[in-house]
Amino acid sequence: MNTRVKRLALPLGGALAATSMIGATLVTSANAATAPQKKMVSLASATSAQKVANYWKSNGGANLKAAAQFTGDQQVSGKVKLGGGDAAPDGKAGSILPTGQEKVTPTKVKNVNLPKTIGKVFFTVGDKEYWCSASSVQGKYRNLVATAGHCVFDEGVQNGALDNWVFIPGYYQGKTPWGIYVGKAAYTHYDFAVYEDYDSDYAFVTVYNGISYAGEKQVTKKTFDEWEGYKYGKDVEITEKEYKQLVDEFGKDAPVFVKDSASEKIVPWTTPNAVTATKEVTKDEYDAAANVPANQNFHQAPELTEKKIVSKEEYDAYNGKGYKKIEDSAYTITRFFLVYKVEKTSTVKYYKTVYFIEYYKDAGRLGDNVGGQGFTWNQKVGQPVYIFGYPAAPHPDGDKPFTGVTPKWCYGKTFAAKAAAAFKAEAQIGLKCSMTAGSSGAPWILKYSSTKRLGYINGVSSLIGDADTNGRIDFSTSPYFDTETYSIYKSAANLWSGSIVTKDGAVVQKA
């Protein structure tokens, strides 16, 4: 991993401690004081979105299945006291309603219905695949995702964003029930993107319309060569007549080839027209073949016997069939051979290459398919919220209760989290929660209705900790969503994206 990923071993990867933490690197700039409050980076143009989608869809979603929770290999210990942070409103509270709702009333139920909006974001760091938790959130064009800033931004890469970024709501073991949504552009606070200030560890990502698998079809070689999406060739056996017809039609460019397979059958020594063959044997096998009848299969071949004097090193290292013997202080190896008769047959088979392409259909807008949570800011600390995420990593004591396959939830009242200097986190909120790494970016939902499966996102999981130092993760933190958060959310929520699938089922090739 690069240094950035190692620093992020602690956010949802190791227990958060007030001391003994990895320090973050400060980035200074003469223009920092006048820099814009938000930071936007492009994740994928309409053209490059095709490559991103293919990366995750090809080979039966092998890269999706290979992805691991975004974490590192470090655990930090040390008692952490809860409370005492500076999380507080910086203005009037406000809210944006969930997609298609006029009102949402929180419900208290024994069995909590999971929201359809949640899922995983997948991305790559170098040649490794990772995932975080995330949720669809309401936006003007119903195309917005909320997650942690460290699940999108990385100052160590060329454009400041992680590669091959997609959101898959309802992801389960390679399945993409509502399609794959490729990220178009991501927004976060300037302080997080540049200074790694975890008080702003959030990101809002505008995604293109989803794409979903629509099947495959056989095509010509020309279409195959021109196709930019996922494709493969399959070799099919044909007759000699079909082979010749294709060669006549296409000449040297014919998609055909020949396999000539030879086989041997051992026959009695006296078989007419048989071919003589040889094989090396041990001295015992050679001696056993002496004075055999004329029609016996194997005969000694003394003319092929080979005796060599070798060095002691060669003698000691040799482990072949040859006979090893020391004669007059000389190290010798003698190789023996038998001869026998075989009938050789040759089988010619003819093949042609059949070409297939996979094509997609436009799955529509994210918010139309799974809805979008509402958004709220400047809320009073101490209100009850739900966290929905995909924890996977073991606890510091090694216990591994989570798999990352299915989402889990926590519920409770938020509190002002104690400052964590290593992450410049002085104004985060916390919640008692046992979720481990993998839940990074999970939505914190205020006023959640289990009936409608909707509420208001009021935070995203950022850091985790072990408050009583018993080796078990027992709380999570989130940036406090204030007026600046709303301003950045609003910028992302007003960005249009659109479809990246053409009428013929290809992903667009021109921006």
Domain final residue, candidates 299, 316, 346: 346
Asked if residue 116 has pLDDT above 70, the reply is yes
Domain span holding position 331: 262-346
Mean pLDDT of the chain: 85
| Together in a domain, 39 and 62 | yes
DSSP 265-290: EEE-TT-TTPEEEEEEE-HHHHHHTT
Q: Which of 65, 286, 99 is nearest to 176 (CA)?
A: 65
Is the residue at 511 inside a domain?
Answer: no
CB-count exposure of residue 499 (10 Å: 0-12, 13-18, 19+): middle
DSSP 2-62: -HHHHHTTSTTTS-B-SSS-PPPPP---TTGGGS-SEEEEE---TTTHHHHHHHHHHHHHH
For residues 485-505, give the mean pLDDT: 88
CATH of the domain at 434: 2.40.10.120
Angle at 119 between CA 118 and CA 120, to 5 degrees: 145
Question: For residue 231, what is the enclosing H or E element?
Answer: strand 231-238
User: How many contiguous H segments (helices) and E segments (strands) does the chain have?
Assistant: 9, 26
pLDDT at 82: 56
| Together in a domain, 394 and 426 | yes
DSSP helix/strand/coil, 497: coil
pLDDT at 213: 81
| Together in a domain, 313 and 292 | yes
114 contacts: CB under 8 Å, gap ≥ 6: 388, 407, 409, 453
Asked if residue 231 has pLDDT above 90, the reply is no
**Predicted confidence band at 226 (pLDDT cuts at 50, 70, 90)?**
confident
What φ, ψ does residue 71 adopt, rounded to 5°? -160, 180
Which region among 15-29, 88-102, 397-411 has the lowest average model confidence (pLDDT)? 15-29
Given a contact cutoff of 8 angstroms between Cβ atoms, the answer to whether 68 and 129 are in contact is yes
Task: Compare 294 and 448 and report the one with higher pLDDT.
Answer: 448
Is the residue at 500 inside a domain?
Answer: no
Token pair belonging to 464: 């985790």
What gap in Å lies between CA 83 and CA 48, rounded to an integer? 45
- Max CA-CA distance within the chain? 107
Q: What is the DSSP letter of 97?
A: P
| Together in a domain, 243 and 321 | no
Number of domains in the chain: 3
| Together in a domain, 245 and 372 | no
Asked if residue 25 has pLDDT above 70, the reply is no
| Together in a domain, 173 and 298 | no
Given a contact cutoff of 8 angstroms between Cβ atoms, the answer to whether 215 and 149 are in contact is no
What gap in Å lies between CA 477 and CA 458, rounded to an integer? 12
| Together in a domain, 66 and 187 | yes
DSSP 323-361: EEEEETTEEEEEEEEEEEEEEEEEEEEEEEEEEEEEEEE
| Together in a domain, 276 and 309 | yes
**Predicted confidence band at 468 (pLDDT cuts at 50, 70, 90)?**
confident
97 contacts: CB under 8 Å, gap ≥ 6: 103, 104, 138, 374
pLDDT at 414: 95
Asked if residue 97 has pLDDT above 90, the reply is yes
Is the residue at 152 inside a domain?
Answer: yes
For residues 437-444, give the mean pLDDT: 94
pLDDT at 26: 27
Which region among 18-27, 146-155, 348-357, 398-407 has the lowest average model confidence (pLDDT)? 18-27
For residues 210-226, give the mean pLDDT: 87
DSSP helix/strand/coil, 368: helix
| Together in a domain, 354 and 341 | no
**Predicted confidence band at 370 (pLDDT cuts at 50, 70, 90)?**
very high
What gap in Å lies between CA 508 and CA 180, rounded to an integer? 15
Domain final residue, candidates 300, 332, 358: 358
Given a contact cutoff of 8 angstroms between Cβ atoms, the answer to whether 168 and 122 are in contact is yes
For residues 121-149, give the mean pLDDT: 95
Kindly report, residue by residue over 309-339, the tens digit of the pLDDT.
999 999 999 999 999 999 999 999 999 999 9
CB atoms within 10 A of CB 139: 28
What gap in Å lies between CA 164 and CA 232, rounded to an integer? 22
pLDDT at 117: 98
Domain final residue, candidates 301, 323, 358: 358
Token pair belonging to 447: 């006023």
Is the residue at 507 inside a domain?
Answer: no
Asked if residue 178 has pLDDT above 90, the reply is yes
pLDDT at 174: 74
Asked if residue 55 has pLDDT above 80, the reply is yes
| Together in a domain, 141 and 290 | no
Is the residue at 504 inside a domain?
Answer: no
What gap in Å lies between CA 427 and CA 210, rounded to an integer? 35
Q: What is the DSSP letter of 416?
A: E
Task: Compare 3 and 136 and report the one with higher pLDDT.
Answer: 136
Kindly report, residue by residue over 276-296, the tens digit of the pLDDT.
999 999 999 999 888 767 657
What gap in Å lies between CA 3 and CA 318, rounded to an integer? 49
For residues 112-131, give the mean pLDDT: 94
| Together in a domain, 247 and 272 | no
pLDDT at 175: 82
Is the residue at 403 inside a domain?
Answer: yes
**Predicted confidence band at 84 (pLDDT cuts at 50, 70, 90)?**
low
Asked if residue 157 has pLDDT above 70, the reply is no
What's at 323, amino acid-wise? Y
Given a contact cutoff of 8 angstroms between Cβ atoms, the answer to whether 208 and 181 are in contact is yes
312 contacts: CB under 8 Å, gap ≥ 6: 331
Q: Strands 118-125, 463-465: parallel, antiparallel or unpaired by DSSP?
A: unpaired
Is the residue at 503 inside a domain?
Answer: no
For residues 442-471, give the mean pLDDT: 93
Laid out side by side, the sheet with 415-416 consists of: 415-416, 428-432, 475-479, 463-465
For residues 255-270, give the mean pLDDT: 86
What gap in Å lies between CA 469 and CA 478, rounded to an integer? 20
Is the residue at 509 inside a domain?
Answer: no
Residues of the chain with pLDDT > 90, as a percent, come to: 56
| Together in a domain, 300 and 236 | no
For residues 469-493, give the mean pLDDT: 94
Kindly report, residue by residue over 383-401, the tens digit of the pLDDT.
999 999 999 999 989 999 9
Which region among 136-145, 182-191, 353-362 has the lowest average model confidence (pLDDT)? 353-362
CA dihedral (91, 92, 98, 102) in degrees, to 10, reads -170
For residues 138-154, give the mean pLDDT: 95
